[in-house]
Structure 1
Amino acid sequence: MSAPLVDIRNVSHRFGQLAVLKDISLRIEPGSYTILLGPSGSGKTTLLSILGGFVTPSEGKVFIRGADCTSTPPARRPTTTVFQDYALFPHMSVGGNVGFGLRMQGVDGATRAARAREALALVGLGSAFDKKPHQLSGGQRQRVALARALVIEPAVLLLDEPLGALDLKLRRQMQDELKAIQKRVGTAFIHVTHDQEEAMALADHCVVMNDGRIEDEGPPERVYHRPATRFSATFMGESTILAGKVTDARDRTITVTTPVGPVLVPGTLPAGSAIALAIRPEHLILGGAAGTAGLGTAKVSDVVFQGSFKRVLAISAEDPSLQFIAKLQASATVQPGDTVAVSCDTDQIIVLAD
């Protein structure tokens, strides 16, 4: 097994008496696009600041390329950071901004200009060298900040919610461009966001954080389809959660009692285990279907048209505290007030330890 590019070992951090990171260990491979995903206060930005050298952890070590960088200042570690607010110098040209890090390294003017032009061409702004930042759009300024970070050829590029200030259309465009640039340059990107769709669009390594801990990590497809924890199932996309208890286990199938009745799902947990069943919206079937697990009936409370699909909320008749979340085809004719049968393919039900 090859050595990781970044090796975070048992890192904890406190601001005064407040513990914001709690025994974090994480390995990041060369050439990967890692997303640190979590709600506000989960510790993801603090972890990024520790990686960038802006914060020294209270406990633990950070190794980059095998070297202990725990106490190394930002300018002396092989990382650069792209901030949400771009942090461009307004009095400098775009070329001057991009070449600033090289200037601090003592690179001569001609070489600096040539490399800055190359970096701007990489992000699609080859003609902007002589412009000032105020002459560019928000998306263009973001690309300048990215070029400035990449021009010094860091081992790791750190991105602190870099798309948060952009509108939806531009944010999606920049997602495509970021992924394409990362593949071209081969630099490891570590990107902080609270946007689940952004995480799934960009990451090949997704790290879900909550309350200073790592709840789940792995390829985004695995984290979405088979989350490790209840928090991961509800934060990385939506889920309907059924509390349950295993009452029978045989032939690699368990019977789970739930508020909507017994449900048989694949599994090997022993009888008596308290679990939760999570069902993604696209796997819920409203109207019932042969060969699926019945989940009772429900009354549709809301239908929201979202372009390519309809998001449907329905209240369980068996347990009024339970709300089903379904994603149906845009052409579905369901309306608020309809009473419908609810079911799901048992192979799509996620079993979680409660």
Structure 2
Amino acid sequence: MNAPLVDVRNVSHRFGQASVLHNVSLRIEAGSYTVLLGPSGSGKTTLLSILGGFVVPTEGNVFIRGEDCTAVPPAKRPTTTVFQDYALFPHMSIGKNVAFGLRMRGVDGATRAQRARSALKLVGLADAFDRRPHQLSGGQRQRVALARALVVEPAVLLLDEPLGALDLKLRRQMQDELKALQKSVGTAFVHVTHDQEEAMALADHCVVMNDGRIEDEGAPERVYSQPATRFSATFMGESTVISGTVAGSRSGIITLRTPVGDISLPGEATPGSTFSLAVRPEHLLLGEPAGSLGLGEAVVGDVVFQGSFRRVLATSKRDPGIAFLARLATGSPVASGDTVAVSCRPEHIIRLKD
């Protein structure tokens, strides 16, 4: 097996008495787009800071290109960081901002200018070389920050919530541009966000973090469709989660006793053991078509129009603590107060570890 570009081994970190990372190990391959995803306080920004050399971990090691970079300062490791506020120098021209890292490396003026122009062309700002940061829009300043980071040709580009300050339309536009840029330059990107849609739009390697640990990681399609844990299922997109106890297991079929009734599924499990099931909103059905698995009746509460679909929230009649979340076509005949049968197809039920 080839060595990864970045190899984080058993990293833990504490700020005073507060432990923010717990024995984290992570491999990042060359040319990948890795997204660290999680809520505030999950440890994702601390892990990014450790990768960038701004924080030295309390325990563990970070290897980049096979070299131990754990205590190597930011300027001497093959990484650059793009911060959320872009951190551009207001008194410098855009060209000088982009060339600043090259200047710190002792590159001569003519070469700096040439490479800065090339980097600005790469991000679509070839005509901004002599302008100042205040003359650019937020999206343009973000592109300048990217050009400044890429001009020094890092092995790994680190992005700390770079789209957080942008409006929704511009954020989606920049997601497309970031992915295209990463494919064009081939540099490994490591991107921190708390936005699940952003993670799925950008990542080919999604890392879900919670309470200083990695809950789940893999291709975003797998993390979404087959989440490893309950937390991953509820944070990486929405889900209806139902917990139950195994009442019996025979001939490869499990009978799970749940608050909405008994559910039979393929698999093996020990009678008396407990686990949870999840159903994504696009797989939850109102009605019981042939071949579906009934989940009881529910009373429809909120019906929210969201453009291409209607978001429907319904409360189980058997257990008011269970809220069914469905995503239906805009023309679906359902209204607040309706009593509906709820079901899903067996193949769309996700079995979770708690």
Q: TM-score normalized by structure 2?
A: 0.99
Instruction: Note the C-alpha offset of 1:264.
Output: 1.4
2:216 alignment partner in structure 1: 216
**Could you tell which deviates more after superposition, 19-28 or 267-276?**
267-276
1:153 alignment partner in structure 2: 153
Q: Report the AA paired with residue 217 of structure 1.
A: E
**Could you tell which deviates more after superposition, 269-278 or 83-92?**
269-278
2:123 alignment partner in structure 1: 123
Report if the CA contact (8 A) 1:206-1:219 is conserved.
yes
Q: Does 1:207 align with 2:193?
A: no
Q: Distance in 1 between matches of 2:294 and 2:341?
A: 8
Q: Distance in 2 between matches of 1:150 and 1:75?
A: 14
Structure 1 gap segments, 5+ residues each: none
1:140 alignment partner in structure 2: 140
1:85 alignment partner in structure 2: 85
Report if the CA contact (8 A) 1:265-1:347 is conserved.
no
1:263 alignment partner in structure 2: 263
**Identity %, equivalent residues:** 75
- Write the deviation string for residues 270-302 of structure 1: whole angstroms up to 9, x where unpaired: 222200001100010012211110000000000
SS at match of 2:127: coil
SS at match of 1:127: helix
Q: Report the AA paired with residue 321 of structure 1.
A: G
Q: Distance in 1 between matches of 2:323 and 2:64?
A: 46
Q: Distance in 2 between matches of 1:113 and 1:132?
A: 16
Report if the CA contact (8 A) 1:266-1:347 is conserved.
no
2:168 alignment partner in structure 1: 168
SS at match of 2:90: coil
- Write the deviation string for residues 44-100 of structure 1: whole angstroms up to 9, x where unpaired: 000000000000000000000000000000000000000000000011111110000
SS at match of 2:111: helix
Q: Report the AA paired with residue 345 of structure 2.
A: D
2:101 alignment partner in structure 1: 101
Q: Distance in 1 between matches of 2:145 and 2:252?
A: 53
Report if the CA contact (8 A) 1:245-1:256 is conserved.
yes
Instruction: Note the C-alpha offset of 1:147.
Output: 0.4
Counterpart mapping for 1:241-256 below 5 A: 241-256=241-256
1:21 alignment partner in structure 2: 21
2:59 alignment partner in structure 1: 59
SS at match of 1:169: helix
Q: Distance in 1 between matches of 2:206 and 2:266?
A: 26
Q: Does 1:74 align with 2:55?
A: no
Q: Does 1:277 align with 2:259?
A: no
SS at match of 1:3: coil
- Write the deviation string for residues 111-145 of structure 1: whole angstroms up to 9, x where unpaired: 11111111011111111111111111000000000
Q: Distance in 2 between matches of 1:70 and 1:23?
A: 15
RMSD over aligned Cα atoms: 0.7
Report if the CA contact (8 A) 1:120-1:126 is conserved.
yes
Q: Does 1:233 align with 2:233?
A: yes
2:303 alignment partner in structure 1: 303
**Could you tell which deviates more after superposition, 294-303 or 241-250?**
241-250
Q: Distance in 2 between matches of 1:102 and 1:251?
A: 67
Structure 2 gap segments, 5+ residues each: none
Q: Distance in 2 between matches of 1:137 and 1:291?
A: 53
SS at match of 1:22: strand
Q: Distance in 2 between matches of 1:274 and 1:240?
A: 17
Instruction: Note the C-alpha offset of 1:106.
Output: 0.8
Q: Report the AA paired with residue 313 of structure 1.
A: L
2:351 alignment partner in structure 1: 351
Q: TM-score normalized by structure 1?
A: 0.99
Q: Distance in 1 between matches of 2:158 and 2:120?
A: 18
Equivalences, count? 354
Instruction: Note the C-alpha offset of 1:183.
Output: 0.2
Q: Distance in 2 between matches of 1:102 and 1:51?
A: 21
- Write the deviation string for residues 162-218 of structure 1: whole angstroms up to 9, x where unpaired: 000000000000000000000000000000000000000000000000000000000
- Write the deviation string for residues 219-267 of structure 1: whole angstroms up to 9, x where unpaired: 0000000000000000000010101111122333211111010111222
Report if the CA contact (8 A) 1:8-1:26 is conserved.
yes
